[in-house]
Structure 1
Amino acid sequence: MLSGLLAGVRRARVTLSYAVIVATVTALMVRMDPVMHDALIRHASTNLHNLSRGRVGTLVGSAFVVDAGSIYLWLPGLVCLLLAAELTCGAWRLVVSFVTGHVGATLLVAAGLATAVKLGWLSASVARASDVGMSYGAMAVVGALTGALPPRWRPAWLGFWFAAAAVVIAGGAGFTDVGHVVALALGVSLSTRFGVRPRWSAPKVALLVLGASFGYLVLADGMVSTVYGLAWGTLGALTAAGFSRLRVVGRAEEQHCC
Protein backbone atom coordinates (compact mmCIF):
# COMPACT_ATOMS: atom_id res chain seq x y z
CA MET A 1 0.00 0.00 0.00
CA LEU A 2 2.83 2.37 0.90
CA SER A 3 4.68 1.57 -2.31
CA GLY A 4 1.52 2.32 -4.30
CA LEU A 5 1.11 5.64 -2.51
CA LEU A 6 4.73 6.59 -3.21
CA ALA A 7 4.32 5.63 -6.86
CA GLY A 8 1.26 7.87 -7.09
CA VAL A 9 3.15 10.77 -5.53
CA ARG A 10 6.01 10.34 -8.00
CA ARG A 11 3.59 10.40 -10.92
CA ALA A 12 2.07 13.65 -9.63
CA ARG A 13 5.23 15.29 -8.29
CA VAL A 14 4.92 18.48 -10.38
CA THR A 15 1.28 19.07 -9.42
CA LEU A 16 1.85 18.36 -5.76
CA SER A 17 5.02 20.46 -5.58
CA TYR A 18 3.33 23.44 -7.20
CA ALA A 19 0.24 23.08 -5.00
CA VAL A 20 2.35 22.99 -1.83
CA ILE A 21 4.34 26.08 -2.83
CA VAL A 22 1.24 28.06 -3.83
CA ALA A 23 -0.60 27.02 -0.67
CA THR A 24 2.37 28.07 1.46
CA VAL A 25 2.66 31.46 -0.23
CA THR A 26 -1.09 32.01 0.08
CA ALA A 27 -1.04 31.10 3.78
CA LEU A 28 1.74 33.65 4.35
CA MET A 29 -0.18 36.31 2.42
CA VAL A 30 -3.26 35.77 4.59
CA ARG A 31 -1.18 36.58 7.66
CA MET A 32 0.36 39.74 6.20
CA ASP A 33 -0.90 43.18 7.12
CA PRO A 34 -2.72 44.96 4.26
CA VAL A 35 0.22 47.24 3.42
CA MET A 36 2.67 44.37 3.06
CA HIS A 37 0.11 42.30 1.16
CA ASP A 38 -0.48 45.06 -1.39
CA ALA A 39 3.26 45.66 -1.70
CA LEU A 40 3.83 41.99 -2.53
CA ILE A 41 1.12 42.09 -5.21
CA ARG A 42 2.66 45.21 -6.75
CA HIS A 43 6.15 43.72 -6.70
CA ALA A 44 5.07 40.37 -8.22
CA SER A 45 2.73 41.77 -10.90
CA THR A 46 3.69 41.21 -14.51
CA ASN A 47 2.38 44.63 -15.53
CA LEU A 48 3.91 47.12 -17.94
CA HIS A 49 5.45 49.13 -15.12
CA ASN A 50 7.47 46.19 -13.80
CA LEU A 51 8.32 44.62 -17.15
CA SER A 52 9.46 47.92 -18.66
CA ARG A 53 11.94 48.26 -15.81
CA GLY A 54 13.48 44.89 -16.50
CA ARG A 55 11.86 43.05 -13.61
CA VAL A 56 11.66 39.79 -15.55
CA GLY A 57 11.63 37.84 -12.31
CA THR A 58 7.95 38.70 -12.06
CA LEU A 59 7.36 36.26 -14.93
CA VAL A 60 8.28 33.50 -12.48
CA GLY A 61 7.17 34.92 -9.15
CA SER A 62 3.71 35.93 -10.31
CA ALA A 63 2.79 32.29 -10.97
CA PHE A 64 3.10 31.54 -7.25
CA VAL A 65 1.25 34.61 -5.95
CA VAL A 66 -2.49 34.04 -6.27
CA ASP A 67 -4.91 36.77 -5.21
CA ALA A 68 -8.19 35.07 -6.11
CA GLY A 69 -10.16 34.77 -2.91
CA SER A 70 -10.27 31.82 -0.56
CA ILE A 71 -7.77 29.10 -1.44
CA TYR A 72 -10.41 26.46 -0.66
CA LEU A 73 -12.45 27.67 -3.63
CA TRP A 74 -9.79 27.46 -6.34
CA LEU A 75 -6.94 25.16 -5.27
CA PRO A 76 -8.91 21.86 -5.54
CA GLY A 77 -9.99 22.70 -9.09
CA LEU A 78 -6.47 23.73 -10.07
CA VAL A 79 -5.04 20.50 -8.64
CA CYS A 80 -7.58 18.42 -10.59
CA LEU A 81 -6.66 20.21 -13.81
CA LEU A 82 -2.91 19.84 -13.33
CA LEU A 83 -3.27 16.22 -12.23
CA ALA A 84 -5.32 15.39 -15.33
CA ALA A 85 -2.56 16.83 -17.48
CA GLU A 86 0.34 15.27 -15.58
CA LEU A 87 -1.19 11.78 -15.50
CA THR A 88 -2.09 11.81 -19.20
CA CYS A 89 0.56 13.99 -20.82
CA GLY A 90 3.48 13.56 -18.43
CA ALA A 91 5.32 15.88 -16.08
CA TRP A 92 7.52 17.69 -18.60
CA ARG A 93 4.61 18.37 -20.98
CA LEU A 94 2.65 19.83 -18.09
CA VAL A 95 5.56 22.13 -17.20
CA VAL A 96 6.09 23.20 -20.82
CA SER A 97 2.42 23.98 -21.39
CA PHE A 98 2.00 25.85 -18.09
CA VAL A 99 5.16 27.93 -18.55
CA THR A 100 4.38 28.66 -22.20
CA GLY A 101 0.90 29.85 -21.32
CA HIS A 102 1.97 31.87 -18.30
CA VAL A 103 4.97 33.58 -19.90
CA GLY A 104 3.79 33.65 -23.51
CA ALA A 105 0.34 35.07 -22.81
CA THR A 106 1.79 37.60 -20.36
CA LEU A 107 4.28 38.94 -22.90
CA LEU A 108 1.78 39.02 -25.76
CA VAL A 109 -0.79 40.84 -23.63
CA ALA A 110 1.89 43.24 -22.41
CA ALA A 111 2.87 44.00 -26.00
CA GLY A 112 -0.75 44.67 -26.89
CA LEU A 113 -1.26 46.91 -23.87
CA ALA A 114 1.92 48.86 -24.60
CA THR A 115 0.74 49.48 -28.16
CA ALA A 116 -2.75 50.50 -26.99
CA VAL A 117 -1.32 52.93 -24.43
CA LYS A 118 1.05 54.43 -27.00
CA LEU A 119 -1.79 54.97 -29.47
CA GLY A 120 -4.01 56.47 -26.78
CA TRP A 121 -6.57 53.69 -26.84
CA LEU A 122 -6.04 52.91 -23.15
CA SER A 123 -5.17 55.03 -20.16
CA ALA A 124 -1.56 54.94 -18.98
CA SER A 125 -2.85 53.81 -15.59
CA VAL A 126 -3.17 50.26 -16.98
CA ALA A 127 0.62 50.02 -16.76
CA ARG A 128 0.36 49.58 -13.00
CA ALA A 129 -2.62 47.21 -12.96
CA SER A 130 -2.20 44.15 -10.73
CA ASP A 131 -1.57 40.98 -12.72
CA VAL A 132 -0.60 37.94 -10.68
CA GLY A 133 -1.77 34.35 -10.47
CA MET A 134 -1.79 31.04 -12.27
CA SER A 135 -4.76 31.57 -14.59
CA TYR A 136 -2.78 31.97 -17.84
CA GLY A 137 -0.83 28.80 -17.13
CA ALA A 138 -4.01 26.94 -16.20
CA MET A 139 -5.74 27.93 -19.45
CA ALA A 140 -2.73 26.76 -21.45
CA VAL A 141 -2.96 23.40 -19.70
CA VAL A 142 -6.63 23.19 -20.71
CA GLY A 143 -5.59 23.74 -24.32
CA ALA A 144 -2.69 21.29 -24.09
CA LEU A 145 -5.04 18.52 -22.95
CA THR A 146 -6.52 18.53 -26.46
CA GLY A 147 -3.74 16.29 -27.73
CA ALA A 148 -4.34 13.75 -24.97
CA LEU A 149 -8.01 13.29 -25.82
CA PRO A 150 -9.21 10.49 -28.09
CA PRO A 151 -9.57 11.88 -31.65
CA ARG A 152 -13.36 11.50 -31.57
CA TRP A 153 -13.56 13.84 -28.54
CA ARG A 154 -11.38 16.60 -29.89
CA PRO A 155 -13.79 18.42 -32.24
CA ALA A 156 -16.40 18.81 -29.50
CA TRP A 157 -13.73 19.85 -26.98
CA LEU A 158 -12.29 22.52 -29.28
CA GLY A 159 -15.73 23.64 -30.42
CA PHE A 160 -16.80 24.21 -26.82
CA TRP A 161 -13.72 26.12 -25.70
CA PHE A 162 -13.41 28.43 -28.68
CA ALA A 163 -17.13 29.18 -28.79
CA ALA A 164 -17.04 30.01 -25.08
CA ALA A 165 -13.91 32.12 -25.60
CA ALA A 166 -15.64 34.04 -28.40
CA VAL A 167 -18.51 34.88 -26.02
CA VAL A 168 -16.06 36.18 -23.40
CA ILE A 169 -14.26 38.37 -25.94
CA ALA A 170 -17.52 39.64 -27.44
CA GLY A 171 -18.72 40.62 -23.98
CA GLY A 172 -16.16 43.39 -23.69
CA ALA A 173 -13.27 41.44 -22.24
CA GLY A 174 -10.55 43.07 -20.16
CA PHE A 175 -6.88 42.42 -20.81
CA THR A 176 -6.85 39.46 -18.38
CA ASP A 177 -9.71 37.81 -20.29
CA VAL A 178 -7.82 38.29 -23.53
CA GLY A 179 -4.78 36.73 -21.88
CA HIS A 180 -6.83 33.67 -20.95
CA VAL A 181 -7.91 33.18 -24.57
CA VAL A 182 -4.35 33.69 -25.82
CA ALA A 183 -3.06 31.14 -23.30
CA LEU A 184 -5.77 28.66 -24.36
CA ALA A 185 -4.71 29.04 -28.00
CA LEU A 186 -1.04 28.56 -27.08
CA GLY A 187 -1.90 25.37 -25.23
CA VAL A 188 -3.87 24.00 -28.19
CA SER A 189 -0.93 24.77 -30.49
CA LEU A 190 1.43 22.90 -28.18
CA SER A 191 -0.88 19.90 -28.00
CA THR A 192 -0.33 19.18 -31.69
CA ARG A 193 3.34 18.47 -30.94
CA PHE A 194 2.95 16.36 -27.82
CA GLY A 195 1.83 13.17 -29.55
CA VAL A 196 0.51 11.41 -26.44
CA ARG A 197 -1.91 8.47 -26.47
CA PRO A 198 -2.88 7.89 -22.83
CA ARG A 199 -5.26 5.27 -21.54
CA TRP A 200 -8.28 6.99 -20.10
CA SER A 201 -9.71 5.49 -16.93
CA ALA A 202 -12.70 6.60 -14.85
CA PRO A 203 -10.51 8.49 -12.30
CA LYS A 204 -8.69 10.34 -15.09
CA VAL A 205 -11.97 11.27 -16.77
CA ALA A 206 -13.26 12.55 -13.42
CA LEU A 207 -10.12 14.67 -12.98
CA LEU A 208 -10.56 15.99 -16.53
CA VAL A 209 -14.18 16.98 -15.90
CA LEU A 210 -13.39 18.71 -12.61
CA GLY A 211 -10.28 20.38 -13.98
CA ALA A 212 -12.05 21.54 -17.14
CA SER A 213 -14.89 22.94 -15.01
CA PHE A 214 -12.33 24.94 -13.06
CA GLY A 215 -10.75 26.15 -16.29
CA TYR A 216 -14.14 27.22 -17.59
CA LEU A 217 -14.83 29.29 -14.49
CA VAL A 218 -11.44 30.97 -14.93
CA LEU A 219 -12.26 31.75 -18.56
CA ALA A 220 -15.84 32.95 -17.99
CA ASP A 221 -15.11 35.04 -14.86
CA GLY A 222 -18.65 36.28 -14.20
CA MET A 223 -22.23 35.04 -13.97
CA VAL A 224 -23.36 36.43 -17.33
CA SER A 225 -20.31 35.13 -19.18
CA THR A 226 -20.66 31.78 -17.43
CA VAL A 227 -24.27 31.29 -18.55
CA TYR A 228 -23.87 32.58 -22.10
CA GLY A 229 -20.51 30.89 -22.52
CA LEU A 230 -21.96 27.55 -21.43
CA ALA A 231 -24.86 27.86 -23.87
CA TRP A 232 -22.74 28.90 -26.85
CA GLY A 233 -19.97 26.52 -25.89
CA THR A 234 -22.40 23.61 -25.91
CA LEU A 235 -23.69 24.73 -29.30
CA GLY A 236 -20.12 25.00 -30.56
CA ALA A 237 -19.32 21.51 -29.29
CA LEU A 238 -22.37 19.99 -30.96
CA THR A 239 -21.71 21.83 -34.21
CA ALA A 240 -18.05 20.82 -34.35
CA ALA A 241 -18.87 17.21 -33.47
CA GLY A 242 -21.57 17.15 -36.17
CA PHE A 243 -19.26 18.47 -38.89
CA SER A 244 -16.59 16.00 -37.81
CA ARG A 245 -19.06 13.14 -38.05
CA LEU A 246 -20.21 14.24 -41.50
CA ARG A 247 -16.60 14.40 -42.67
CA VAL A 248 -15.94 10.87 -41.43
CA VAL A 249 -19.08 9.55 -43.09
CA GLY A 250 -18.17 11.34 -46.33
CA ARG A 251 -14.71 9.79 -46.39
CA ALA A 252 -16.15 6.35 -45.69
CA GLU A 253 -18.59 6.71 -48.59
CA GLU A 254 -15.79 7.82 -50.93
CA GLN A 255 -13.68 4.85 -50.00
CA HIS A 256 -16.68 2.52 -50.45
CA CYS A 257 -17.43 3.95 -53.90
CA CYS A 258 -13.83 3.55 -55.00
Structure 2
Amino acid sequence: MVLSLLTRLVRVRVTLGYTAALVAVAAVLLALGPHVRDQVILHASTNLHNLAHGRLGTLIGSAFVIETGPIYVWLPGLFAILGLAELLWRSRWMVLAFVVGHVGATLLVAAGLVAALAAGLASWSIVNVTDVGMSYGAVGVLGALTAAIPRRWHAAWTGWWLAVAVGSAVSTLGDFTNVGHGVALVLGMVVGTRFGHPAHWTTARYALLAVAAAFGYLIMANTGLSILTTSTLGVLGALTAAYVARRLSVRRALSAAAVPQPAAS
Protein backbone atom coordinates (compact mmCIF):
# COMPACT_ATOMS: atom_id res chain seq x y z
CA MET A 1 0.00 0.00 0.00
CA VAL A 2 2.81 2.39 0.91
CA LEU A 3 4.67 1.50 -2.28
CA SER A 4 1.52 2.13 -4.34
CA LEU A 5 1.08 5.55 -2.71
CA LEU A 6 4.71 6.49 -3.32
CA THR A 7 4.38 5.43 -6.96
CA ARG A 8 1.41 7.74 -7.41
CA LEU A 9 3.15 10.63 -5.70
CA VAL A 10 6.20 10.24 -7.93
CA ARG A 11 3.93 10.76 -10.93
CA VAL A 12 3.09 14.27 -9.64
CA ARG A 13 6.53 15.06 -8.26
CA VAL A 14 6.80 18.48 -9.90
CA THR A 15 3.39 19.50 -8.58
CA LEU A 16 4.39 18.33 -5.10
CA GLY A 17 7.72 20.14 -5.29
CA TYR A 18 6.21 23.39 -6.50
CA THR A 19 3.37 23.45 -3.96
CA ALA A 20 5.86 22.59 -1.20
CA ALA A 21 8.02 25.53 -2.31
CA LEU A 22 5.00 27.84 -2.20
CA VAL A 23 4.17 26.68 1.32
CA ALA A 24 7.78 27.19 2.43
CA VAL A 25 8.00 30.70 0.96
CA ALA A 26 4.65 31.67 2.48
CA ALA A 27 5.72 30.35 5.88
CA VAL A 28 9.04 32.21 5.79
CA LEU A 29 7.40 35.49 4.75
CA LEU A 30 4.79 35.11 7.49
CA ALA A 31 7.53 34.55 10.06
CA LEU A 32 9.56 37.55 8.87
CA GLY A 33 6.63 39.92 9.20
CA PRO A 34 4.61 42.25 6.94
CA HIS A 35 7.42 44.74 6.24
CA VAL A 36 9.79 42.12 4.84
CA ARG A 37 6.90 40.47 3.02
CA ASP A 38 5.99 43.74 1.31
CA GLN A 39 9.59 44.28 0.26
CA VAL A 40 9.88 40.77 -1.19
CA ILE A 41 6.63 41.24 -3.13
CA LEU A 42 7.88 44.57 -4.45
CA HIS A 43 11.18 43.10 -5.66
CA ALA A 44 9.61 39.92 -7.07
CA SER A 45 6.86 41.75 -8.95
CA THR A 46 6.76 41.63 -12.74
CA ASN A 47 5.59 45.23 -12.96
CA LEU A 48 6.84 47.60 -15.64
CA HIS A 49 9.34 49.22 -13.28
CA ASN A 50 11.19 45.98 -12.59
CA LEU A 51 11.03 44.74 -16.16
CA ALA A 52 12.25 48.07 -17.53
CA HIS A 53 15.27 47.84 -15.23
CA GLY A 54 16.18 44.42 -16.60
CA ARG A 55 15.05 42.40 -13.60
CA LEU A 56 14.04 39.44 -15.72
CA GLY A 57 14.47 37.08 -12.80
CA THR A 58 11.08 38.32 -11.64
CA LEU A 59 9.53 36.30 -14.48
CA ILE A 60 10.43 33.18 -12.48
CA GLY A 61 10.56 34.47 -8.92
CA SER A 62 7.10 36.03 -9.07
CA ALA A 63 5.56 32.55 -9.47
CA PHE A 64 6.80 31.60 -5.99
CA VAL A 65 5.45 34.60 -4.10
CA ILE A 66 1.73 34.86 -3.37
CA GLU A 67 0.19 38.18 -2.42
CA THR A 68 -3.47 37.43 -1.71
CA GLY A 69 -5.53 34.91 0.20
CA PRO A 70 -4.68 32.26 2.82
CA ILE A 71 -2.62 29.49 1.25
CA TYR A 72 -4.89 26.71 2.54
CA VAL A 73 -7.81 28.16 0.55
CA TRP A 74 -6.28 28.06 -2.91
CA LEU A 75 -3.58 25.38 -2.65
CA PRO A 76 -5.94 22.40 -3.23
CA GLY A 77 -7.24 24.01 -6.43
CA LEU A 78 -3.74 24.69 -7.70
CA PHE A 79 -2.69 21.14 -6.88
CA ALA A 80 -5.70 19.82 -8.82
CA ILE A 81 -4.83 21.78 -11.98
CA LEU A 82 -1.13 21.01 -12.00
CA GLY A 83 -1.46 17.45 -10.70
CA LEU A 84 -4.07 16.52 -13.30
CA ALA A 85 -1.95 17.90 -16.14
CA GLU A 86 1.09 16.06 -14.83
CA LEU A 87 -0.86 12.80 -14.60
CA LEU A 88 -2.20 13.19 -18.12
CA TRP A 89 0.97 14.30 -19.92
CA ARG A 90 3.87 13.87 -17.50
CA SER A 91 5.97 16.54 -15.88
CA ARG A 92 7.71 18.31 -18.75
CA TRP A 93 4.49 19.13 -20.61
CA MET A 94 2.80 20.46 -17.49
CA VAL A 95 5.83 22.64 -16.79
CA LEU A 96 5.83 23.89 -20.39
CA ALA A 97 2.16 24.89 -20.18
CA PHE A 98 2.75 26.64 -16.86
CA VAL A 99 5.80 28.56 -18.09
CA VAL A 100 4.12 29.57 -21.35
CA GLY A 101 1.07 30.79 -19.45
CA HIS A 102 3.02 32.59 -16.74
CA VAL A 103 5.85 34.15 -18.74
CA GLY A 104 3.94 34.59 -22.01
CA ALA A 105 0.96 36.33 -20.43
CA THR A 106 3.22 38.51 -18.27
CA LEU A 107 5.22 39.77 -21.25
CA LEU A 108 2.19 40.31 -23.49
CA VAL A 109 0.35 42.20 -20.75
CA ALA A 110 3.47 44.31 -20.14
CA ALA A 111 3.62 45.14 -23.85
CA GLY A 112 -0.05 46.10 -23.79
CA LEU A 113 0.49 48.35 -20.77
CA VAL A 114 3.42 50.08 -22.47
CA ALA A 115 1.23 50.71 -25.52
CA ALA A 116 -1.57 52.03 -23.30
CA LEU A 117 0.83 54.41 -21.55
CA ALA A 118 2.19 55.65 -24.87
CA ALA A 119 -1.34 56.31 -26.09
CA GLY A 120 -2.31 58.08 -22.86
CA LEU A 121 -4.91 55.43 -22.01
CA ALA A 122 -3.43 54.44 -18.65
CA SER A 123 -2.07 56.22 -15.59
CA TRP A 124 1.67 56.12 -14.92
CA SER A 125 0.92 54.80 -11.46
CA ILE A 126 0.41 51.41 -13.09
CA VAL A 127 4.18 51.16 -13.60
CA ASN A 128 4.70 50.26 -9.94
CA VAL A 129 1.63 48.11 -9.34
CA THR A 130 2.70 44.80 -7.79
CA ASP A 131 2.08 41.69 -9.85
CA VAL A 132 3.10 38.38 -8.31
CA GLY A 133 1.56 34.93 -7.99
CA MET A 134 0.91 31.71 -9.82
CA SER A 135 -2.45 32.55 -11.41
CA TYR A 136 -1.20 33.12 -14.99
CA GLY A 137 0.65 29.81 -14.94
CA ALA A 138 -2.31 27.97 -13.40
CA VAL A 139 -4.73 29.36 -15.98
CA GLY A 140 -2.25 28.46 -18.72
CA VAL A 141 -2.28 24.83 -17.55
CA LEU A 142 -6.09 24.95 -17.34
CA GLY A 143 -6.15 26.11 -20.96
CA ALA A 144 -3.85 23.25 -21.97
CA LEU A 145 -6.29 20.78 -20.38
CA THR A 146 -8.66 21.66 -23.24
CA ALA A 147 -6.72 19.20 -25.40
CA ALA A 148 -7.52 16.41 -22.93
CA ILE A 149 -11.28 16.97 -22.68
CA PRO A 150 -13.34 14.11 -24.21
CA ARG A 151 -14.58 15.00 -27.69
CA ARG A 152 -18.26 15.11 -26.74
CA TRP A 153 -17.56 17.95 -24.29
CA HIS A 154 -14.68 19.61 -26.08
CA ALA A 155 -16.61 22.33 -27.94
CA ALA A 156 -18.73 23.30 -24.94
CA TRP A 157 -15.66 23.40 -22.68
CA THR A 158 -13.77 25.62 -25.14
CA GLY A 159 -16.71 27.95 -25.68
CA TRP A 160 -17.33 28.25 -21.95
CA TRP A 161 -13.75 29.22 -21.03
CA LEU A 162 -13.22 31.65 -23.90
CA ALA A 163 -16.48 33.39 -23.00
CA VAL A 164 -15.54 33.43 -19.30
CA ALA A 165 -12.18 35.03 -20.17
CA VAL A 166 -13.90 37.76 -22.18
CA GLY A 167 -16.50 38.32 -19.46
CA SER A 168 -13.82 38.56 -16.79
CA ALA A 169 -11.90 41.21 -18.72
CA VAL A 170 -15.04 43.20 -19.56
CA SER A 171 -16.51 43.15 -16.04
CA THR A 172 -13.28 44.38 -14.44
CA LEU A 173 -12.21 47.14 -16.81
CA GLY A 174 -8.94 48.64 -15.66
CA ASP A 175 -7.72 45.41 -14.05
CA PHE A 176 -4.97 44.19 -16.35
CA THR A 177 -4.61 40.98 -14.34
CA ASN A 178 -7.87 39.58 -15.70
CA VAL A 179 -6.77 40.43 -19.22
CA GLY A 180 -3.63 38.47 -18.43
CA HIS A 181 -5.71 35.50 -17.32
CA GLY A 182 -7.48 35.50 -20.68
CA VAL A 183 -4.16 35.69 -22.51
CA ALA A 184 -2.74 32.84 -20.41
CA LEU A 185 -5.82 30.72 -21.11
CA VAL A 186 -5.49 31.13 -24.88
CA LEU A 187 -1.74 30.49 -24.76
CA GLY A 188 -2.39 27.30 -22.80
CA MET A 189 -5.02 26.17 -25.31
CA VAL A 190 -2.58 26.74 -28.17
CA VAL A 191 0.37 24.96 -26.57
CA GLY A 192 -1.90 22.13 -25.42
CA THR A 193 -2.61 21.19 -29.02
CA ARG A 194 0.95 19.82 -29.16
CA PHE A 195 0.48 17.47 -26.20
CA GLY A 196 -1.81 14.91 -27.81
CA HIS A 197 -5.03 13.48 -26.39
CA PRO A 198 -4.61 11.24 -23.31
CA ALA A 199 -6.06 7.78 -23.76
CA HIS A 200 -7.50 7.18 -20.32
CA TRP A 201 -9.76 9.07 -17.94
CA THR A 202 -10.62 7.73 -14.48
CA THR A 203 -13.10 8.77 -11.80
CA ALA A 204 -10.27 10.31 -9.78
CA ARG A 205 -9.10 12.35 -12.78
CA TYR A 206 -12.62 13.61 -13.42
CA ALA A 207 -12.78 14.67 -9.76
CA LEU A 208 -9.50 16.56 -10.15
CA LEU A 209 -10.89 18.18 -13.31
CA ALA A 210 -13.96 19.39 -11.40
CA VAL A 211 -11.80 20.95 -8.67
CA ALA A 212 -9.42 22.41 -11.26
CA ALA A 213 -12.28 23.98 -13.24
CA ALA A 214 -13.85 25.48 -10.11
CA PHE A 215 -10.52 26.93 -9.01
CA GLY A 216 -9.76 28.29 -12.47
CA TYR A 217 -13.17 29.92 -12.61
CA LEU A 218 -12.70 31.62 -9.24
CA ILE A 219 -9.34 32.97 -10.38
CA MET A 220 -11.07 34.77 -13.25
CA ALA A 221 -14.37 35.61 -11.53
CA ASN A 222 -14.04 36.72 -7.91
CA THR A 223 -16.57 39.55 -7.56
CA GLY A 224 -20.35 39.56 -7.74
CA LEU A 225 -20.43 41.42 -11.05
CA SER A 226 -17.76 39.25 -12.66
CA ILE A 227 -19.47 36.04 -11.53
CA LEU A 228 -22.79 37.21 -13.01
CA THR A 229 -21.16 38.35 -16.25
CA THR A 230 -18.89 35.36 -16.75
CA SER A 231 -21.51 32.74 -15.88
CA THR A 232 -24.00 34.26 -18.32
CA LEU A 233 -21.49 34.61 -21.14
CA GLY A 234 -20.01 31.21 -20.31
CA VAL A 235 -23.32 29.41 -20.75
CA LEU A 236 -23.99 31.27 -24.00
CA GLY A 237 -20.49 30.49 -25.22
CA ALA A 238 -20.78 26.80 -24.36
CA LEU A 239 -24.16 26.42 -26.04
CA THR A 240 -23.06 28.33 -29.14
CA ALA A 241 -19.83 26.35 -29.51
CA ALA A 242 -21.65 23.03 -29.01
CA TYR A 243 -24.28 24.00 -31.60
CA VAL A 244 -21.68 25.08 -34.17
CA ALA A 245 -19.65 21.92 -33.59
CA ARG A 246 -22.77 19.79 -34.04
CA ARG A 247 -23.71 21.52 -37.30
CA LEU A 248 -20.19 21.13 -38.66
CA SER A 249 -20.19 17.45 -37.73
CA VAL A 250 -23.50 16.89 -39.52
CA ARG A 251 -22.28 18.80 -42.58
CA ARG A 252 -19.11 16.72 -42.75
CA ALA A 253 -21.14 13.52 -42.46
CA LEU A 254 -23.46 14.60 -45.29
CA SER A 255 -20.52 15.60 -47.46
CA ALA A 256 -18.88 12.23 -46.90
CA ALA A 257 -22.09 10.42 -47.75
CA ALA A 258 -22.46 12.42 -50.97
CA VAL A 259 -19.03 11.44 -52.29
CA PRO A 260 -19.60 8.86 -55.08
CA GLN A 261 -18.05 5.50 -54.45
CA PRO A 262 -15.78 4.00 -57.14
CA ALA A 263 -17.53 1.44 -59.31
CA ALA A 264 -16.62 -2.18 -58.77
CA SER A 265 -14.39 -3.61 -61.49
Normalised to the residue count of structure 1, the TM-score between the two structures is 0.96
Q: Paired residue for 2:241?
A: 240
Alignment of 1:211-230 (within 5 A): 211-230=212-231
Q: Does residue 1:179 correspond to 2:151, yes or no?
A: no
Q: Paired residue for 2:7?
A: 7
Alignment of 1:1-258 (within 5 A): 1-171=1-171, 172-258=173-259
- Give unpaired runs (5+ residues) of structure 2: 260-265
**Aligned residues of 1:89 and 1:145 also touching (Cα < 8 A):** no
Equivalent residue letter for 2:210: V
Q: RMSD of the alignment, in Å?
A: 1.3
**Aligned residues of 1:89 and 1:198 also touching (Cα < 8 A):** no
Runs of 4 or more off by more than 4 Å in structure 1? Answer: none
The Cα shift of 1:197 comes to: 2.2
Deviations 1:180-216 (A, max 9, x none): 0010010011011111323011100110111011001
- Once the two structures are overlaid, the 10-residue window that deviates more, 26-35 or 15-24, is 26-35
**Aligned residues of 1:100 and 1:186 also touching (Cα < 8 A):** yes
Normalised to the residue count of structure 2, the TM-score between the two structures is 0.94
Aligned length: 258
Counterpart-to-counterpart distance in 2, 1:173 and 1:84: 33
SS in 2 for 1:130: coil
Equivalent residue letter for 2:245: S
Counterpart-to-counterpart distance in 2, 1:198 and 1:76: 25
Counterpart-to-counterpart distance in 2, 1:198 and 1:61: 35
The Cα shift of 1:256 comes to: 2.8
Q: Which has the larger radius of gyration?
A: 2
- Give unpaired runs (5+ residues) of structure 1: none
Counterpart-to-counterpart distance in 2, 1:18 and 1:6: 17
Change beyond 3 A, Cα 1:67–1:208: same
- Once the two structures are overlaid, the 10-residue window that deviates more, 36-45 or 222-231, is 222-231
Counterpart-to-counterpart distance in 1, 2:241 and 2:149: 15
Counterpart-to-counterpart distance in 1, 2:36 and 2:109: 27
Equivalent residue letter for 1:234: V
Counterpart-to-counterpart distance in 2, 1:215 and 1:48: 26
**Aligned residues of 1:146 and 1:188 also touching (Cα < 8 A):** yes
Equivalent residue letter for 2:236: L
Change beyond 3 A, Cα 1:22–1:216: same
Counterpart-to-counterpart distance in 1, 2:238 and 2:193: 19
Counterpart-to-counterpart distance in 1, 2:138 and 2:83: 11
